[in-house]
Amino acid sequence: MPFESGNYDYNLYYTGDAAARARLGELSSNYGAKGDYYINSLTFNSTGVSGAVAPTEWNLLSNFTTEVTASSGDVVVINNLSGSLINYQAGDFTVYTNIENSSAVAKLNLGTAGMTLFGVSLGAQVPRLVMDMNAVITGNLSVSNQSVLLIRSGTTTVSNTLEVISDSEEVARSAKVQIDDGAKLVANGGTMNIRNLGIVDVDGTIAGKAGIIIYGNGVMNVAGTLDRTEANLRIKDNGYLSVTGNYVGNTNKGIYIENTSGTNGGLAEFSGNTNFYVLDVLGTLKQISGEETTFLATSRFGTNSVFKTSAENLIIKNSTTTIENGNSSFVVEGVDSKISLNNGTLIIAKENAITGTNGNNVVLSTVANSQNNTVTLNSSQTFSKVWANGADITIILNSSAKLFADFEATQNNKIKIYNFAEDSIFVANYADIDDVNNIFVAYSDNGTTIISQLYINSNGWLTALVPEPAQWATILGALTISLIIIRRKKSL
């Protein structure tokens, strides 16, 4: 069925075999869309005229262009009242306005069966839905098989499920959503599923109340803004997220990187200084550039998880980070790699979970004037230095965990040890410390029973036992040698 261009509101009825498709438009010799039609709207009906029935689906095969001339209000462009699927297989369906500062909203009511953009392998069958103004799409929308949803300008809100999917393993047949710079896609209902080589490229903004799931080789590339302040984003089973633009979240929403298959979890890569909000990682999370990585909400790195940041400073701020025993690796690989606690809590269940560049150890430090900085060790850990830098830090030792490090504290600040036991704190820089009681406060339990006096034994372990005379001689000898070396360096 061909159309005619003009200011027409088409009311479409089908009176043929109810088990057949209703084809609207024409194909060219190379199977592309034939015909360019300028219309006002399309309404799909199943009743209203004698003999009308609902077809199995409505096939659209031409280029359709709708110009919205109203300057305000809702303007219905597609209205599916038939209960049948709209299958758009060839051409561009473009909705736009030329009115500057128009507040009009184009309405695409896809009905209970929804709409599918479905390109097939025949020639030029690459359907595109092009939104060039503010629009609301109600009903499920599927973008599949070398088809495209293009948000060129304005804000397009999808009120139901949006699916981006291919039924082929050929990259050339990937389905795609493109959000241009300055445009915005708001997914507000159901779920946005990106899978089976489905691709979402965001140069503008993607936001909304609907969760986003990337899986089965689905890809999202964000050069603009990824806004997850209202809903979570999940990545699993070879799903991939790349953010080179901005990531916005809050302390209740965030990113879940899952691993349902046990081997092929999701992968997320971020560029530049990044503030992460809720994180639950069972796959791989990387920050590949920038000087700082900041965790601002609860973060968990569980079984098979991999974390790597090229930033030299990982900040845990007003939140808790947990590294579970099943974590595969947790790397802070900047040149002078450091973990900074700013009212932060770090829980480590895996032995020597945290490493720096080439397996080197990292510094653990507080941020000046912060409070409630706590590290809970359920397994032993080595740091290059533990530094109470302008704020106290509490170390809780559980399950016979040991801590190996240089230790330092600024004046009036302390490193507090809970559940202290003999041979649990190795002070690598013991020869440089005049009085360990200026650095440490130790408790034999969870903070109520203080140990009045601390020492360092001849092997470098923090101890509550008074050293034997022979040990004193060894300690004094080490101090004497250190003083001689210092004097020689000064004379040189």
Q: Give me the DSSP letters along 211-232.
A: EEEEETT-EEEESSEEE-SSS-
Tell me whether residue 91 is in a domain: yes
Residues 6+ apart with CB under 8 A from 448: none
Distance CA 418, CA 284 (A): 33
Residues 6+ apart with CB under 8 A from 33: 25, 26, 27, 61, 62, 63, 90, 91, 92, 124
Residue 479 has φ and ψ, to the nearest 5°, of -65, -40
Is residue 410 packed enough to be buried (19+ CB in 10 Å), middle (13-18) or exposed (0-12)?
Answer: middle
Tell me whether residue 74 is in a domain: yes
Residue 437 has φ and ψ, to the nearest 5°, of -70, -15
The CB-side HSE value for 408 (13 A sphere, CA atoms) comes to 14
Give the model's pLDDT for residue 488: 44
Tell me whether residue 97 is in a domain: yes
Residue 483 has φ and ψ, to the nearest 5°, of -65, -40
- In the chain, the amino acid numbered 207 is A
Which residue from 350, 238, 355 is spatially nearest to 302, judged by alpha carbons?
350
- Other Cβ atoms less than 10 A from the Cβ of 304: the count is 17
Is residue 110 packed enough to be buried (19+ CB in 10 Å), middle (13-18) or exposed (0-12)?
Answer: buried
Tell me whether residue 459 is in a domain: yes
Tell me whether residue 416 is in a domain: yes
Q: Record the tokens describing residue 123, joined without a space.
A: 């020639």
3-state secondary structure of 482: helix
Task: Work out the end-to-end distance of the chain between its first and last CA atoms, rounded to an integer number of angstroms.
Answer: 97
CB 334 within 8 A of CB 311: yes
Return the exposure string of 46-76: e unless at least 16 CB atoms fall within 10 Å of the residue's CB, then b. beeeeeebbbbbbbbbbbbbbbbeeeeeebe
Domain count, the chain: 2
- Other Cβ atoms less than 10 A from the Cβ of 20: the count is 12
Return the exposure string of 241-261: e unless at least 16 CB atoms fall within 10 Å of the residue's CB, then b. bbbebebebeeebbbbbbbee
Tell me whether residue 238 is in a domain: no
Tell me whether residue 36 is in a domain: yes
Residues 6+ apart with CB under 8 A from 12: 22, 24, 42, 43, 44, 45, 58
In sequence order, the β-bridge partners of residue 107 are 76, 136
Q: Among 102, 125, 149, which residue terminates a domain?
A: 102
Q: Give me the DSSP letters along 372-413.
A: --EEEESS-EEEEEEEE-SS-EEEEE-TT--EEEEEEE-TT-
Q: Record the tokens describing residue 321, joined without a space.
A: 């980070």
Residues 6+ apart with CB under 8 A from 116: 85, 86, 87, 88, 141, 142, 144
Q: What is the residue range of 13's domain?
A: 1-102
Residue 432 has φ and ψ, to the nearest 5°, of -95, 0
Q: Among 102, 123, 157, which residue terminates a domain?
A: 102
3-state secondary structure of 43: strand
In sequence order, the β-bridge partners of residue 213 are 193, 234
Return the exposure string of 447-474: e unless at least 16 CB atoms fall within 10 Å of the residue's CB, then b. eeeebeebbbbbebbbbeeeeeeebeee
Give the global pTM: 0.90
The dihedral of CA 345, 347, 352, 357: what is its sign? negative
3-state secondary structure of 77: strand
- Other Cβ atoms less than 10 A from the Cβ of 159: the count is 22
Which residue from 155, 161, 169, 171 is spatially nearest to 193, judged by alpha carbons?
161
What are the pLDDT tens digits along the chain (492 aa)?
556 667 788 888 888 777 788 888 776 665 556 678 898 999 999 888 888 888 999 988 888 999 999 999 999 999 999 999 999 988 899 999 999 999 999 999 999 999 999 887 555 678 999 999 999 999 999 999 889 999 999 999 999 999 999 866 665 568 999 999 999 999 998 899 999 889 999 999 999 999 999 998 999 999 999 999 999 999 999 999 999 999 999 999 999 999 876 667 899 999 999 999 999 999 999 999 999 999 999 999 999 999 999 999 999 999 999 999 999 999 999 888 999 999 999 999 999 999 998 889 999 999 999 999 999 999 999 999 999 999 999 999 998 999 999 999 999 999 999 999 999 999 999 999 999 999 999 999 888 899 989 999 989 999 998 766 545 455 455 445 444 443 444 444
Q: Give me the DSSP letters along 101-128.
A: T---EEEEE-TTT-EEEE--SSTT---E
Q: Among 85, 102, 119, which residue terminates a domain?
A: 102
> How does strand 462-463 pair with strand 455-456?
antiparallel
Token pair 């360096």 is found at: 489
Tell me whether residue 27 is in a domain: yes
